[in-house]
Amino acid sequence: MSYADTESNYDSSGKPVGLESCFTTTGAANGTLKITLRHEPNKSAANVASGDITNAGGSTDAEVVFAITVE
């Protein structure tokens, strides 16, 4: 996964907001997509800017999981 490279997808400090993402597949598959809305995350924590929210802190406002099928 990668963040869309548009100005609106970054905050004033240049950290990704995560409103737009790009997904690339290599073949047919099934899986899940989890979207998490995190309140006041620490975007400077280790690996957060690259999409790993493990060290982000803050609190989860909403989280949803979608079943995905790529044909």
Total length of the chain = 71
pLDDT at 6: 74
Better-predicted residue by pLDDT, 62 or 26: 62
Helix (H) or strand (E) holding 70: strand 59-70
In sequence order, which ranges of 1-71 are alpha helices (DSSP H)? none
Q: What pTM, to 2 d.p., does this model score?
A: 0.68
At which residue do the structure tokens 């995350």 appear? 41
User: Could you report the per-residue pLDDT of 14-51, keeping only the tens digit for each?
Assistant: 887 877 777 788 889 999 999 899 888 888 899 988 87
Round to whole Å and give the CA distance between 39 and 28. Answer: 34
Residue 15 to residue 38: CA distance in whole angstroms: 14
